[in-house]
Structure formats: structure tokens, C-alpha cells
């Protein structure tokens, strides 16, 4: 598995973290705090999408270097 991420744990962590969080549904399955009227469940999931993209971008920069 190490080989899969070029032997770099940091990269592996960056790639896996958003997915793992996305799968931990009990973490975000709550109403409060609300944001612009959105219950936490909804705004958290929507926000997690760009966050995961940024994490992948960080790995991409490492790979390119």
C-alpha cells in the first residue's frame, strides 16, 4: 500500500482524510450550528467538496516537484 502513494505518508494522509471524514456520517449528522439557514449536515458536506479538492491539489504539487 505504501507503494501506492509513492512511499509518502503525508501524501497518503492528504488524499485519504477528506474521504474518511466524508464517510464518518455520525460526525456531521446534526442540525446545529446552522449557516445561512443550512443545517450543519448540508453545509458541512458541501464545504467538504472544495476542501477535498484543495487537499488533492497539495498532493499534486508535491508529485510535480
Of the candidates 48, 58, 62, the residue with the CA atom closest to the CA atom of residue 20: 48
How many residues would you count in the chain? 65
- The CA distance from 10 to 22, in Å, is 19
Residue 60 lies near another protein (rule: CB under 8 A): yes
Question: Of 8, 10, 13, 31, which one interacts with another protein (CB under 8 A)?
Answer: 31
Residue 46 lies near another protein (rule: CB under 8 A): yes
- Minimum separation from the CB atom of position 48 to another protein (A): 6
- Minimum separation from the CB atom of position 10 to another protein (A): 14
Amino acid at each position: 500500500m505504501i507503494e501506492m502513494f509513492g512511499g509518502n505518508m503525508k501524501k497518503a494522509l492528504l488524499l485519504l482524510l477528506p474521504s474518511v471524514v466524508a464517510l464518518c456520517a455520525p460526525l456531521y449528522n446534526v442540525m446545529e450550528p446552522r449557516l445561512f439557514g443550512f443545517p450543519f449536515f448540508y453545509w458541512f458536506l458541501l464545504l467538504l467538496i472544495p476542501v477535498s479538492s484543495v487537499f488533492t491539489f497539495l498532493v499534486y504539487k508535491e508529485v510535480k516537484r
